[in-house]
Amino acid sequence: MSTPLVTNIQRYSIHDGDGIRTTVFFKGCTMACKWCHNPETQEFSAEPMRNGDRCGGCGRCAEVCPEHAISLENGISVTDRESCTRCGTCIDECYNDARSISGRAYPVKELVELLVKDRMHWEASGGGVTLSGGEVMAQDMDYITDLMKRLHAKGHSINIDTCGFAPYENYEKVLPYANVFLYDVKAINDEVHKANTGVSNKLILENLAKLGKAGARIYLRMPLISGLNDSTDDMLRVIDFLRENSVPILQVNLLPYHELGQDKLEKLGKARHDTNFAPPSNEHLNELVQLFKQNGYQNTRIGG
Ligand code: SF4
Ligand code: SF4
């Protein structure tokens, strides 16, 4: 069993399923969405990050870096990602707390002990743990199932937040322990899907249909970008797919695009995406909510 990396453990989350939840973001994804708001979770390996707003340009990090991977450009430190060995030496040297390594491995037992510290909040609110990413279903499944079994044995709710692009066998392994799948459909038009995520939506839709047949509890989540994947026709195609495949959906979440990911790309030392994405207007979002409700999905809302 290999231990996946975690980029963040977010406590008191109210956007990752029912109640107050503790969300674990695993590092590594099978897709590369241009609108990803957690780009530090796309690569499976650890990555150096530098917060340009905090960097004062003192150069201490560059002096101690054993690989000479850091230089100063325009008064702030810049890391050569190829030369950096992720040793972490520069982190302690930065008094401004501007440097970090994204990605930490937690043995299962340690992670469970950390998570259950929040159980009082879960019990009071009907919440629990949400496993997210990145793509949790593309991690080491022995680790993920072990983690879920331990939490499940203690009676805790576990949600799986997934983009759907992973072998169906992985979903079968977690089915007995998952309360809800927060299941993303990024674009129903496959050409749009390929152009903006790097992969076809065929496997994602197949897995969604299989999960529905297997009796999984599913909340459908759709990131919406104006003019790209948010047309009324696109949404009707989603509804048709759900009907044709008898996929029971307990909740529909329409997630308007936001720009958070672009700043993180800069912190990772990666180029910002050259896109002009924008969220749908409030008027259009409300029309889509009504469209889903008129088609039987009364539990449709804007946001997670
Ligand atoms: S040590 Fe910190 S503040 Fe100084 S140059 Fe490096 S990142 Fe910037
Ligand atoms: S993590 Fe190590 S190799 Fe990478 S920039 Fe910092 S000191 Fe250099």
For 214, half-sphere exposure in the C-beta direction (CA atoms, 13 angstrom radius) is: 20
Give the domain ranges of the chain: 5-44+104-302, 47-102
**Alpha-carbon distance 69 to 6, whole Å?**
24
Residue in 67, 68, 82, 267 to alter for ligand 2 test, most ligand atoms within 8 A of Cβ: 67
**Alpha-carbon distance 175 to 181, whole Å?**
9
- In a 10 Å sphere around its CB, with 0-12 CB exposed, 13-18 middle and 19+ buried, how is residue 176 labelled? exposed
The response to whether residue 58 sits with its C-beta less than 6 Å from ligand 1 reads yes
Assess contact for 223 and 304: CB atoms under 8 A: no
For domain 47-102, give the CATH number: 3.30.70.20
Which residues make beta-bridge pairs with 180? 159
Tell me the three state secondary structure of residue 231.
Answer: coil
Domain 5-44+104-302 has CATH 3.40.640.10: no
Torsions phi, psi for 183 (to 5 deg): -110, 120
* Of 203, 225, 207, nearest in space to 285 by CA: 225
**Alpha-carbon distance 304 to 286, whole Å?**
15
| Distances, alpha carbon 158 to alpha carbons 24, 96, 120, 179, in Å | 11, 37, 15, 6
Q: Is the pLDDT of residue 260 over 90?
A: no
For 155, half-sphere exposure in the C-beta direction (CA atoms, 13 angstrom radius) is: 5
Torsions phi, psi for 47 (to 5 deg): -135, 145
Assess contact for 272 and 265: CB atoms under 8 A: yes
Same fold, 5-44+104-302 and 47-102: no
Rounded average pLDDT over 77-99: 95
Distance 106 CA to ligand 1 centre (A): 28
Q: Is the pLDDT of residue 192 over 80?
A: yes
* Of 190, 198, 185, nearest in space to 239 by CA: 185
Tens of pLDDT, residues 231-245:
999 999 999 999 999
Mean per-residue pLDDT of the chain: 96
Q: Write down the pLDDT at residue 245.
A: 97
Q: Write down the pLDDT at residue 71.
A: 96
Which residues make beta-bridge pairs with 77? 72
The response to whether residue 103 sits with its C-beta less than 6 Å from ligand 2 reads no
The response to whether residue 96 sits with its C-beta less than 6 Å from ligand 1 reads yes
Q: Is the pLDDT of residue 62 over 90?
A: yes
Q: Write down the pLDDT at residue 170.
A: 98
| Distances, alpha carbon 100 to alpha carbons 54, 76, 86, 159, 166, in Å | 12, 15, 9, 28, 29
* Of 166, 117, 107, 115, nearest in space to 139 by CA: 166
The response to whether residue 200 sits with its C-beta less than 6 Å from ligand 2 reads no
Beta strand extents in the chain (DSSP E only): 5-13, 21-26, 47-50, 70-73, 76-79, 99-102, 104-105, 128-132, 157-162, 180-184, 218-224, 251-256, 300-302
Rounded average pLDDT over 244-265: 92
Share of the chain above pLDDT 90, in %: 93
Say which residue, 25 or 271, is predicted with more confidence. Answer: 25
Q: Is the pLDDT of residue 258 over 90?
A: no
Residue 119 pLDDT class (50, 70, 90 cuts): very high
For the CA of 88, the nearest atom of ligand 2: 1
Q: Is the pLDDT of residue 274 over 80?
A: no
Tokens representing 165 are: 């692009």
Q: Is the pLDDT of residue 276 over 90?
A: no
For the CA of 50, the nearest atom of ligand 1: 7
Question: Which residue's CA is minimally distant from atom 6 of ligand 2?
Answer: 90
Ligand showing the shortest atom-to-Cα distance for residue 84: 2
Residue in 47, 68, 70 to alter for ligand 2 test, most ligand atoms within 8 A of Cβ: 70
Q: Write down the pLDDT at residue 143.
A: 98
Distance 234 CA to ligand 1 centre (A): 47
Enter the pTM of the model.
0.94
Rounded average pLDDT over 271-280: 86
Tens of pLDDT, residues 20-58:
999 999 999 999 999 998 999 999 999 999 998 899 999
